[in-house]
Amino acid sequence: MCGILAVLGCVDNSHAKRSRIIELSRRLRHRGPDWSGIHCHEDCYLAHQRLAIVDPTSGDQPLYNEDKTIIVTVNGEIYNHEELRGKLKSHQFRTGSDCEVIAHLYEEYGEDFVDMLDGMFSFVLLDTRDKSFIAARDPIGITPLYMGWGLDGSIWFASEMKALSDDCERFMSFLPGHIYSSKCGALRRWYNPPWYSENIPSAPYDPLVLREAFEKAVVKRLMTDVPFGVLLSGGLDSSLVAAVASRHLAEVKSARQWGSKLHTFCIGLKGSPDLKAAREVADYLGTLHHELHFTVQEGIDAIEEVIYHIETYDVTTVRASTPMFLMSRKIKSLGVKMVLSGEGSDEIFGGYLYFHKAPNKEEFHQETCRKIKALHLYDCLRANKSTSAWGVEARVPFLDKEFINVAMNIDPEWKMVRPDLCRIEKWILRNAFDDDKNPYLPKHILYRQKEQFSDGVGYSWIDGLKDHANEHVSDAMLMNASFIYPENTPTTKEAYYYRTIFERFFPKNAARSTVPGGPSVACSTAKAVEWDAAWSKNPDPSGRAALGVHAAAYDEKVASLPAVNNSSSPNGLPQKKLQEGIVEATATSV
């Protein structure tokens, strides 16, 4: 990941203003410690902090077209850049950077080129020929971007809020899948896939098509000139990423800086569920596995720094970001600059445990759409900023544009949790990789039940956070929370504690407004309560709020299944095979 800062239309274009913008850009240097760049054109400034992943020697930014009339600063990766270069044969490229295509695509196709990009990106492009500019963000919001306005009429864009919050009167999170054009002075959505309208899809489920789409998504994200690895929790999603990446490296016999074996990383409290499961997956795949430990106190000591970097006070995000933040520091110390991670699967396939209560496929699909559209405020924000805090880039194959199109076009009836058919959450994904002849994963890993990251690293982590918050937030403070924080009022002492830290770093109204819905919206959603009122009785936003759905519930489901036989179930798969998968998953649940 890189850090970008663009200030356009300044009244003041003095040397002091340039110095100020350089100073603000330095606040993003953790995102790009490898090099810094700035381009000034009259009253416009484009600054960049680079993390060199592709073409480390010549890809410094800002980037230009041939005559340097078009300047672009980019945070992200364009995976189809070689294909795009083939369409730009009349253009001269100066670097091997994947991002240079953006300047030439604009020159060739105008503002409508953004949909041609396959990758994760946020960028600002200045056309000095008419002093117009555009800014755009990738479809899901994997890369962060903020937009702000100064009192002098200037418009600001930055990868993180900390680079513009002091100098902008108002700012907001730039919407994913949108483009801002100075010519029309407004945001418009450029990403318009069929599923975005929430119309119910009807395509049949083909496990091989789904599997192949995911394998392509993983392989394209191995585009790198630096050492890389996979974040492996031992859950379904990260294990599938590791399995596909490991197979690909074995097939191509690609000798990386670390050799041809895949490196995997996991963090947790000693004895945590994730550490055990990840070790088993790593042993099965034959990866070079790095098991990292932290203590509750080490996590608590890092909380303030974590909130400064992730720029949110959302409870579930803070809980999960802290171990990821600590792990990223260890990963960077080993010389790794890029990792693959499993974010996005639960949103696409309805993997959160409250989806068990979805009353019909229509509501199931609409909720997956809502969750995907909010990813930039939660899991994408966590994965990007927790790793970027230490100059590590996280890539997320489940959020590949083509894979999402395939997965979201499937009739959601196939995604529904159906105990009568032995389908647990994310069954269609598990089934797609359930290959008895050439197994990707052990069956009990393939059917391991969902564990939220902050739970999987060790349940005492959350308990420790709550105890710490209780020591710092009194009953009176929480009772008066609505007067101190009338917007998104914290409802627990833990939420109040995070909010006080956030407010110290980001005291403006605009900052707190970038965190929507309050402290527990990520899991204990209104939709969950609507589907089952029992959810409202547990205010904790972790996976443990899944009343009657977690491991114990499966014991009852398995016990109620008919006797095992070799006949096929209504979905055409052996009943014995599916039932064994659920039994094994139950045995390894925590």
Q: Give the H/E segment covering residue 317.
A: helix 315-333
Exposed/middle/buried for residue 26 (C-beta within 10 Å: 0-12, 13-18, 19+): middle
Dihedral in degrees, nearest 10, Cα atoms 277, 283, 288, 289: 20
Number of H helices, E strands in the chain: 23, 17
386 marked as binding residue:
no
Sign of CA dihedral 108, 112, 114, 117: negative
Is 428 annotated to bind ligand? no
Point out the catalytic residue in the list 2, 44, 266, 369: 2
Per the annotation, does 314 bind a ligand? no
Tokens matching residue 333: 């110390």
Rounded to a whole number of angstroms, the distance between the first and last alpha carbons of the chain is: 34
Phi-psi map region of 458: left, alpha, beta (phi>0 left; psi -120 to 50 alpha): left
**Angstrom distance (rounded) from CA 291 to CA 276:** 10
With vertex at residue 182, the alpha carbon angle to CA 180 and CA 187, rounded to the nearest 5 degrees, is 25
The whole-angstrom separation of Cα 76 and Cα 79 is 10
Strand pairing class (155-158; 170-173): unpaired
CB atoms within 10 A of CB 129: 10
Q: Are strands 263-268 and 228-231 parallel, antiparallel or unpaired?
A: parallel
Catalytic residue status for 2: yes
Q: Annotation-wise, does 231 bind a ligand? A: yes
Instruction: Report the alpha-carbon distance of residue 553 to residue 259 in Å, rounded.
Output: 44
Q: Is 142 annotated as a binding residue?
A: no
9: left (phi over 0), alpha (psi -120 to 50) or beta: left
Largest CA distance in the chain: 80
How many residues are given for the chain?
590
Amino acid at 275: L
- Phi and psi at residue 489, in whole multiples of 5°? -60, 125
Handedness of CA 305, 495, 291, 254 (dihedral sign): negative
Residue pair 4/159 in contact (Cβ under 8 Å)? The answer is: yes
Annotated binding site for ATP: 231, 267, 341-342
Catalogue the active-site residues: 2
Annotated binding site: 98, 231, 267, 341-342
Annotated binding site for L-glutamine: 98
